[in-house]
Each structure stands twice: as C-alpha cells, then as structure tokens.
Structure 1
C-alpha cells in the first residue's frame, strides 16, 4: 500500500509517428538530435550526482521519445538509485536504470540509461529541463570527478558529447566511454516465452458461496478478520463484507467497505493468498473500481487495490517488497481527486515515516472494469492497464523475496458526518504464471480458455 509520495502529472501520450529522416544513418541522426548538460552538484565528492539534461531536435522530423536512450557513464563500487526531481516532459514519463559495462574502461564501469515511456519531440524544439539525480543505496559519498560523463565546470546548459544518445538503437550523439560509435549493448528486454503456464499457474474465477466457504481455505485464500493497518485506527476487517455474487456472466469477488464517520463504525475488507509463494512472473486481475458509494454521502478517501506484498519484519527491512495498483476515487494523501497509482517498494519504516519507493500515477477516473497486469522479470516491473503500459520500474525497487497476492479496500481517514456510506470493489478473476512473462492480450486468451473449459480454479504454483 502506498504512503504519501511526491506526485507528478502524467501529461504525455504515446506517439504514433516514427522517426524517418532523423534515423536514416548515424551521421544524419547526429545532426537531428543533440544533448545539452549541466550539473547542480559540481563537487568532486558528492552524496548524489545530479546530471540535468535537455534534448534538442535540430532536424525536420518529430522524434518519438520512446525510441530515445540517454547514457551517462560513470564508475561505482556498489548499487545506486535513480530519481527524477522535476522535468518539463513530466517525471512520470522518464525512466532510469543502471547497466554494467561488459568491459570496464577508464572513467566508466557502468552507465545510467535514461529513457521515456511516451512523448514526441517536435522539430526545432527541446525537452526543457530534466533534473535527474542518482545516489548510492547506502547514501555514502562517492567520487565523481573521474567519471567519463561528469563535467565539473558545466554549471549552465551547453552541448556535451560525453553523454551518449541513442535513437532507434543507433548512436546519434556523443561518445560512449571507451570510444566507438556502433550499436550499443542492447538494453535487456523481456520477451514472452510462449510456454503456457510457465512453471506453475494460479487461476481463480471466484465461484464461492461466501466468505465462509471451506474451499477458500482449501484453495489457499484467507479472508481477513484481524485488526490493524492500513487504514482508519479502530476499524474492523469484516469477512461478512466479502461476498461472491453473480456478475459479469459468472461470480465475482466483492469487497464492500463502509463507515459511519467513526473508527468503531468503519469496516475494511481484504482477501489474500495464505502462502507467500509468488515471485517472478505475471500477475493479472480484472477489477472494477467505483467512484461513488452505493449509498450515503460521497467524499471518503477510500483505497481500492490489487497488489503483491512481503511482510515488513523490521524498520527498513531490505527484504521487503510490494507492487501496487491503487485507485483513490476521491483522492487522499494530498491529492484532491481521483488518481490511479502503480507503486513499487524497496522498504519503509512507519515511525518516523520514511519510504523508499517509486511510483507512476494518472489523474483520471478509472471507474468500471479494467484488466490489470504486472510483469516481474529481468529486473523490471511493468504495469499494464487494459493492455496499455502504465509504468515501468526496477533497480532497487525490484522484489527480493516471494510475496502474497492481495485485494483490499480501506479508508485512509474519515471526512466526518454520521450518515452510513458504503463503497464497493469487485474482482472478476485473478491469474498468475510463475517465471513467465505473459503479454496482456495472451492473459485474456488464457482466461477465456479456462472459462471455455469450465475451469473455475487451478493452482499448480509450487510452494516456496
């Protein structure tokens, strides 16, 4: 579950145009794209490097930013974390991960690769500021003065050829560490294996009679009744508010959470797997979010979810992991309106609050049914909504240990008033394929095949 993060509007959409003239050859592309650089951390030794970039399109064709990679070369002794502090193109579209060089050279044994999930750079335009930074995971100081891409005197923007830019897989600007101008080392990608079921499959169509149906426990599910967080202090977690009515041509998991404005009168709901046996692979569910309560006044800060999680054994537990889809129909955590989060967690501590996570968000209504997919493989976590790539996370936020699968609905806080109000979340089905990346469209095909065969449940995922 997310806690109050920084939030930036997802403002760009995936372009449909392709680079034509600009990518005709490395020489012509070099004339089309160039990079400007400055640093806001000019010291030889620093707690975090702060490379700021602008990309300039000097060509005559628009450039889809999703085809562009920026590589900043440096040396390091440990693992690092990337962050985007602010960007004109929106930090929610900027990605960053670290790649080791197969053959280290003077000034570099790795690079930070910056990419984009969407956006188009028009001819004659630039991206504006991209204020980026990275630091060691232990926050210890490190030396940057000997890094290939670092420029101590570059405190204002100017062309900088010690940072390489690739477009469509070709070098179009700058000189990589060690020289050379050919194809870059391919960025690791994840390709669906095409092997149905991977190394174990979970599918549940939620065909149960109610929360007391003994098959729930037999099939590895737990309906929560224990008190505690997240949510409103004093609230109960009620199995009786978890039902399985007919809908969508079959049955669905239904979570009804309610409040009368008091902690004692607040009911949260949750269904969870009993076993922590889910790690790499593909997770999917068809979920119905709602913007308004079934009855009573609207306005509560309610959270509707599909996520995986590892227990936090201690503050800042390094083995903690959490991958979230969370919809806030009425906002919360400082947000004024509906917002959908995809959040990947490294760890946290509750008191005093300290969070180590990364997130992508979209401020829009997501009321209605949505196909949600999370792919966990190759050091990357990819979140899809209705077949659309919503977020791409990784690096320190990649999970380290097996997780539970959960659905819950709970209130962040209470808005006052004594009139009862109830919010509803529904789940049509859940699917997991162990150690296999399954494309969103193939997930739907497999679910359809289970239903065509009248298979309402299967679980061949081995115990940890």
Structure 2
C-alpha cells in the first residue's frame, strides 16, 4: 500500500470518527462552564457551580435542558440530597435529582439539574448557579473518584466532563465511556401549584396593644420577652426586657418595638427578642414590619440583623427535626455581602462545629427601609415568601418543615460586624401586627382585609389555634 493511500485511509478514519463524536458539539448552541468551591479529596458537600452559556442564535427554553454531573457513590445504598445555595436565575427555578448509571467504572450515579421555567436568550448565560449536594446522613463525602469533579477548577471555564442535554439530545460534554445513560427525566411544564387545604382551622391575631414589656397580658397570650443570654449575635451581649417596648405609632395604635444598642464592646451591647410558643406549622404567617437603614442615634455601619422568622429548636447537631424560615434584613450588609440586602432562608438543619449549614436562600440587594407586609405561606411541600404582595422566593423539598415551630421577632448584631467606634448607637425595628391562619393559604391582599376587619371590630387579640 502506498503512503498516499495509507494517509488517505487514515484521514477517512479520522473524519468518520469525528463525524460520530462531534456532530452535536459542532452545531451546538449550549456549553457548560464549571467551577467548584470545595476542592478537597473529601468534603462535607460536593459543590458543582455551573454557568450555562447559549452561544447560538435563538433562545433556548430552559425547561428543555438537563445538566448531568457524574460521580461515584460512597456505597451502593448511600442516598444524597441536592440544594441550590444561590442562582442568578433563582433557586426556585432550579431542580436536582439523582439517578444511576451502569456499564462504566467511571461513575455509578449522576446529579441531574433541570429548570422549571425561564428562557436563555441567544448570546446570554444563566450566570452563577451555586449548587451542592451531600450525603443524607451528613457524613463526609469522598469526591476524588468522581468523574465530573475538577479539583483545580476554582474559576469558571468550559468543562466537558459535565453533560448537557437539550430536548433529550446530548449537546455538550462527554458522559463516562461505556455507561448506559438513559434519556433525561422530563421537566414539569409549570411551576408547582400552591396546594394545601382550603379554609383555616384556627387563627392568631395580635395588634400588640400592650402597655410595656412587663404587661401581664404578654404572658397570658403566650408571648415571651427574652432575657436569657446566648446567641445569636455578639458573644456576651445582653437581652434586657427593657429593649422590648410598645410605643404609640399613630393615633392610639401601638406597635411592638425591638431595640439593639452598642458602644462597640460586648459588655456594652444589648439585643432584643420577642417570641411565641411552639404551636405553628402549616398555614399562612404574616406581619407588618418596619425596617430601618440607619440607627436612631450614633454612627452608622454596624452589621445589624432585623428579622421575622419561625423556628424549631436544634436538639443536637444536624437534628433532622430542626426547621427555620427567615425574613432577615441587613441594612449594612454582613456574612460577606454588601448591604442593604434582604435574605429569605429556609433551613433543613445545621451543625455548629465545624460549621455546616443545610439550607437554601434567596437574596435581593435593595433598601427595605420603612413599613412592609411580610407573608410566609407553608403548604403543600412549598414555602413561599411575599413582600408587599409580591412573591420573593419559593423553597421546598428537603427544606420543608416537619415539626411545630415558634414565631419570633429579633434584632441583633452579627459577631465581628460592629463598627470600630466607641460612640453609643441604637437601632429599632417595629412590628404593627401579627397574623396566622392554620392550614390555610391566604393571599397577601386578603390578609390585609382580615386585619382591617379585626381592627374595625375593636379586636386586639385572638387565638383559636390549639397546641399540637
């Protein structure tokens, strides 16, 4: 055989191979950029962060897209849980499920990431999707043997060890060789519906018509003015009853007021909390809250947290019965973020030492100074947060609460976040009213109507919710 014929034969073979291996990628419009913030051979959780790019000329419906991250389970029976920490496209639109793959030694599982809604315009990208998954028993994960893991990928770049499917067709990446890779699972065509029982089975309403923090009606109505030491906040800070008050805010209408003050030292720092008993679970929670961007007096700049939240106490590290749903406003930022910023966070559990947070959150950088109607709907496996009638976030899955919770309002300083000044300063947060309807999804506009009806009837307190 001549060299010319041999070379021609090799070219033909190579072209045939390319025709098999690259047709999708040659014409593709999608590509996947990847990085990880957990680079160790073992980790508390695997953290694949994605940025999906549309380099084509037409928009791509995101609910037709699936992303697969391949890994090897720590044991055949091991179960895993998915979480979205933050995403430009909103974590409420991102899904994650686990599937098995066979016929290859490179991987036996994959995380399949999908989308419930949205469209990716030509030339655009999804932006940051900070995803993670962890063992259901919260033990350390071995990721050094995971096919899709890139330990040196600490900045975003194209990564073909993660596969992308569009409409069931592979358009990016190289799945593990020899694996039986079934068609991607279908995406829901619409977002989950609110669901939940129609019609409440008990109501709590409080107009906070108390004279002071020592008013005996506070205890009679099962509220507690916190005075015990401990977290959250600055270690060594006090929680005096005098930091809780009920000033007149308009006409004869009083509001709950929380005060937090500091001179920059632990001994000179005081915080405030007002909480109800643990008897709240599914239903609709609402409060009208006044946030502040600056202190009432003194220099500005402390990392202060202004809150309305529900919580089940943590009995031990990674307690599966723990739950928490938070509205947290940080006018001066904190936790590595610049303010003003609003967080809504839904918790599954956590561990203090070493710190491990199992939660999902939604954030928005904007000022929320002034009065706002905050609504939390817990029903049908989904937690929904509304601010002034507008849906702010949807969380669910493993983060959905399982046990009765208390209702809390507190005002506290982030440890390590005090301004470097000895000049005293004080912040306040006010709450006009609180409302809860058990086992009922109530629209934000309807809540305002019900509160006005209570006030028109002269009702300042009502509680028909039984203890569980």
What is the TM-score with the length of structure 2 in the denominator? 0.72
Does 2:52 correspond to 1:54? yes
Instruction: Give the alignment of 1:51-90 within 5 angstroms.
Output: 54=52, 56=54, 68=63, 70=65, 80-84=80-84, 89=88
Aligned to 1:269: 272
Conserved 8 A contact 1:193-1:438: no
CA distance in 1, matches of 2:164, 2:184: 21
Aligned to 2:161: 155
CA distance in 2, matches of 1:423, 1:180: 51
Distance 1:428 1:110, change over 3 A: farther
Indicate the SS of the match to 1:236: coil
Distance 1:64 1:364, change over 3 A: farther
After superposition, the C-alpha distances for 1:287-322 in whole angstroms (9 at most, x for unaligned) are 000011111111111111000111111122121111
CA distance in 2, matches of 1:322, 1:111: 26
Aligned to 2:430: 426
Q: Which runs of 5+ in 2 are unaligned?
A: 1-27, 37-42, 148-158, 171-180
Distance 1:444 1:193, change over 3 A: farther
Instruction: Give the alignment of 1:74-223 within 5 angstroms.
Output: 80-84=80-84, 89=88, 94-96=93-95, 98=97, 114-115=114-115, 121-122=120-121, 125=124, 127=126, 132-138=131-137, 155=161, 160-162=166-168, 188-191=192-195, 195=199, 198-223=200-225
Aligned to 1:397: 399
Indicate the SS of the match to 2:271: strand
Aligned to 1:238: 240
Indicate the SS of the match to 2:454: helix
Indicate the SS of the match to 2:441: coil
Indicate the SS of the match to 2:450: helix
Q: How many residues align?
A: 399
Counterpart pick for 2:441 among 419, 433, 437? 437
Distance 1:72 1:80, change over 3 A: farther
After superposition, the C-alpha distances for 1:317-373 in whole angstroms (9 at most, x for unaligned) are 121111111111111222232211111111122233222221111111111111111
Conserved 8 A contact 2:263-2:425: yes
Aligned to 1:361: 363
CA distance in 2, matches of 1:86, 1:136: 20
Distance 1:36 1:417, change over 3 A: closer
Indicate the SS of the match to 2:273: strand
Larger Rg: 2
Indicate the SS of the match to 2:301: coil
Query: Greater shift after overlay, 202-211 or 434-443?
Result: 434-443
After superposition, the C-alpha distances for 1:42-66 in whole angstroms (9 at most, x for unaligned) are xxxx986969573759786x7886x
Deviation, 1:428, is 0.6
Deviation, 1:204, is 0.6
Indicate the SS of the match to 1:237: coil
Indicate the SS of the match to 1:437: coil
CA distance in 1, matches of 2:373, 2:258: 17
Distance 1:39 1:264, change over 3 A: closer
Distance 1:120 1:179, change over 3 A: closer
Conserved 8 A contact 1:80-1:396: no
Aligned to 2:173: none
Aligned to 2:150: none
Q: Which runs of 5+ in 1 are unaligned?
A: 1-32, 146-152, 165-175
What is the TM-score with the length of structure 1 in the denominator? 0.73
Aligned to 1:333: 335
CA distance in 1, matches of 2:271, 2:112: 42
Deviation, 1:125, is 4.6
Aligned to 2:322: 320
